[in-house]
Structure 1
Amino acid sequence: MIMMPLGPQLMRIFEISPQQFGFLVSAYTFAAGISSFLGVFWVDLFDRKKVLFFSFAGLIIATLACALSPTYSILMLARILTGIFGGIPGAVVFSIIGDVFPENRRGTASGYVATSFSLASVLGVPFGLFLASLTNWHAPFYFLCLIGLVILFMIFKFVPNIKSHLKHKSIDSKIYDSFLHIIKNSNLRIALLFIASLVLGQFTIVPFISPYMSANIGFTDAELTFIYLLGGAATIISSPYIGKLADKFGKPKIFTVMGFLSIIPIVAVTNLPKVSIPIALIFTTMVFVFFSGRFVPATAYITSVVSAKHRGAFMSFNFAFMQITSGVASLLAGMIITKSPDGTLLHYPYVGLIAVAFTFIAMFMIKKVKQVNEPEQEIQIKKTTSSEEVILQD
């Protein structure tokens, strides 16, 4: 997430084009996508906590490599390494939601998880940009490493061992069973197409919000922090509420409502003329709120389209699909957007039209995805000598 607000600085310091910046953003997502895809073959064979811990530890090391990068090329390699380790934790987190929470509470749980993104926007990104404005662009990555160490300790200390999915795996089960199940299941294929359209409707425009606001509207590097501060603060309030609405009225219905509402800020931001900073911030904040409003019911719904024994593998596959698709979206936007002689960005409105088109496709696709009905599970947390272990009983 830190790459997008740093876009104006990186484009200026490394003297790179919007297309090259798009490569820098997509390098992470493509690597994360490949990593998540490979996770399909093994993620369901281990305790969720261990997978989360070791993949996150690798992510911290890779982030340190970003902080130490002296050139564009080395930063590109470091971002690829970051993606390799970053492709697993997100899938594992949503697998845990699917394992621990019953279907009628997953929207609420996903809403609270989404607030972590908002907290990062409110606290992490503005502070990181503030550090970058005081020192240089390397500082936010050092800051992320420090925060990552705190989170790693919290994973070790507070996340319980989750092994309930392992009861579905026989000793001689083949690691590609889940992959074959995903490929052969038409409902899961439709779910993946739904996620792809959702991501293309968002990540075509998100990476270039900061560069556009800087080059075309006149935001300073310091003022860019308000995009993430206000947007994150708004979604801290909205995400849990939207999650509860999704549980109450149905996830497809709430997703569709949020999809229609999100078209307003998509069109506004990508066509924004030179306006005052407060007016621009109103629309960027709306982007945060309604994009989060789409993501919460979508991810909660996706956890319910696959049985527990294949959930970890499918969520890895899904996360891989999301990352690769977001990489494609960034590349596509980078190929369309150009820089004029005076430094302003051109053709952003075309990118907005593409985002609107994929938003409509996503609203159509979610109606085609079917949930899997599983027996309600009784959730127990049993104390062990070293940590807690989650046990799910039918």
Structure 2
Amino acid sequence: MPLGLIALAIGAFGIGLTEFVIMGLLPDVAADFAVSEAAAGWLISGYALSVVVGALGLTAATVRLPRKPVLVGLLVLFILGNSLTAMASTYEVAMIGRVVAALCHGAFFGIGSVVASDLVPANKKAGAIAIMFTGLTAANVLGVPFGTLLGQHAGWRSTFWAISGIGVLALIGILVLVPVIKHAAEGISLRKELGAFTSLQVWLSLGVTILGYGGMFGAFTYIAYTLTEVTGFNESTVPWLLMLFGVGLFVGNWLGGRMADKSIDRTLLFFIAALLVVLIAFGALASSPVATIVALFLMGGFGFGTVPGLQSRIMQFAGSAPTLASGANIGAFNVGNALGAWAGGLGIAAGLGYTSPIWIGAAITVAALLLVLVAMSLAKKSATAPELAPAS
């Protein structure tokens, strides 16, 4: 395995941690700034929407630049944003810090996915992307639970100071372990990268990403409230339950990468359909501690098992101009994140209870399942579709 993949995973760990850890700390942040649960949720939604801006804007602005220095610069931005959040004296300043940190997120994963796929043979590209995203799953398995635990005992700001320190370690890892990738800038242009968006399959892939990820996050964004207010778990157990969810992410990411190297579309169909079943069961059985524990693991596994396939699919249909499309898909993940957080917040604000985000997530997942079926059908009819043979 190329050492560069390890470095990319380290960067993914730091960035993934800053995105996800706030979910376990949301009640503490809301109390500190004296804002409602829905308002605190905008620290998640605002981050996600800013990822979209960075994924498109920064990726487009740096498309002709050498990729390693760009990754380094993005991590510097990440460190600055998290430090600002840690120092924030008001809700508004905390939001600014979240926005600054988020700007690097989409471009890092978008460019990093291209770099990861360039480090391995063609038949291992989805697996290489999965290795990079292992850092994101590790952030959930280890980082989020312990970050939540740290925040509960030393204040939520201490967690963001720790994240800034991890960002420094990730920066060193990129400098030391990622090789200088030959980047033929003369063969790359923004116009060529934008040309990838003339493909209907690229747009369908983006739609599946938004809805598939939005379904999972519709249920997960307010999970701390569901666990304590519905299932009846003590607040001190939330970090360990989040670790279980993270283990599911890890397993799903690994399995999804292996399956997607054989058939991308079949893999997506399987994981999205399975996620829908899990969300329906979770919504119906959320008051049961045993059912909730099982559902958390399966929700993480089936929800994140789609990621290698979704990222590989859009890069495949983008052809020789994958960088901006790859970044756009990372933005799409976070549009889904924002969609799920916003929709789940509406359910809570409407007085539908803390299981309403789960049911809303299930509804969004139904739309994702229908869209992936449409994409598969159209791909089969197209003689030029790269995934035609294995997806049939």
TM-score normalised by the shorter chain: which range applies? 0.7 to 0.9
Q: Is 1:136–2:150 an aligned residue pair?
A: no
Kindly indicate whether the alpha-carbon contact (under 8 Å) linking 1:114 and 1:292 is maintained by their aligned counterparts in 2. no
CA-based RMSD of the aligned residues comes to: 2.4
Report what 1:64 is aligned to.
83
Kindly indicate whether the alpha-carbon contact (under 8 Å) linking 2:253 and 2:305 is maintained by their aligned counterparts in 1. yes
CA distance in 2, matches of 1:262, 1:353: 8
- Say how many residue pairs are matched: 363
Aligned AA (1:351): I
Report what 1:356 is aligned to.
365
Alpha-carbon shift at residue 25 of structure 1 (Å): 0.9
After TM superposition, the structure 1 = structure 2 runs for residues 309-388 of structure 1, keeping only pairs within 5 Å, are: 310-338=321-349, 345=354, 347-367=356-376, 368-369=378-379, 371-372=385-386
1:74–1:291 Cα change, 3 Å: same
Query: Comparing both structures, which one devotes a greater share of its residues to helix?
Result: 2
Report what 1:292 is aligned to.
304
Return 148-157 or 119-128, whichever deviates more: 119-128
1:325-348 Cα shifts (integer Å, max 9, x gaps): 43233222212223769xx63633
Q: Is 1:182–2:196 an aligned residue pair?
A: yes
1:19–1:208 Cα change, 3 Å: same
1:176-229 Cα shifts (integer Å, max 9, x gaps): 4422x1343333223222322223322222212222212222233321112221
Report what 2:130 is aligned to.
111
1:196–1:239 Cα change, 3 Å: closer
Alpha-carbon shift at residue 372 of structure 1 (Å): 4.5
CA distance in 2, matches of 1:289, 1:56: 28
Alpha-carbon shift at residue 151 of structure 1 (Å): 0.9
Aligned AA (1:130): L
CA distance in 2, matches of 1:338, 1:25: 16
Q: Is 1:31–2:50 an aligned residue pair?
A: yes
- For structure 2, list consecutive stretches of 5 or more residues without a partner in the other structure: 1-19, 388-392
Kindly indicate whether the alpha-carbon contact (under 8 Å) linking 1:195 and 1:322 is maintained by their aligned counterparts in 2. yes
1:107-141 Cα shifts (integer Å, max 9, x gaps): 22233223212211222111111111211111111
1:11-53 Cα shifts (integer Å, max 9, x gaps): 3333332321232211111111112111342332011111111
Q: Is 1:204–2:225 an aligned residue pair?
A: no
SS in 2 for 1:45: coil
Alpha-carbon shift at residue 294 of structure 1 (Å): 1.8
Q: Which has the higher contact order (CA 8 A, sep 6+)?
A: 1
1:155–1:365 Cα change, 3 Å: farther
Kindly indicate whether the alpha-carbon contact (under 8 Å) linking 2:199 and 2:317 is maintained by their aligned counterparts in 1. no
Alpha-carbon shift at residue 358 of structure 1 (Å): 2.4
Report what 2:120 is aligned to.
101
SS in 2 for 1:8: helix
CA distance in 2, matches of 1:362, 1:201: 13
Report what 2:246 is aligned to.
232
Kindly indicate whether the alpha-carbon contact (under 8 Å) linking 1:4 and 1:207 is maintained by their aligned counterparts in 2. yes
Kindly indicate whether the alpha-carbon contact (under 8 Å) linking 2:72 and 2:174 is maintained by their aligned counterparts in 1. yes
Alpha-carbon shift at residue 165 of structure 1 (Å): 4.7
Alpha-carbon shift at residue 306 of structure 1 (Å): 1.6
1:253 paired residue among 254, 257, 266:
266
Fraction of identical pairs, as percent: 18
CA distance in 1, matches of 2:47, 2:370: 26
SS in 1 for 2:316: coil
Kindly indicate whether the alpha-carbon contact (under 8 Å) linking 2:193 and 2:324 is maintained by their aligned counterparts in 1. yes
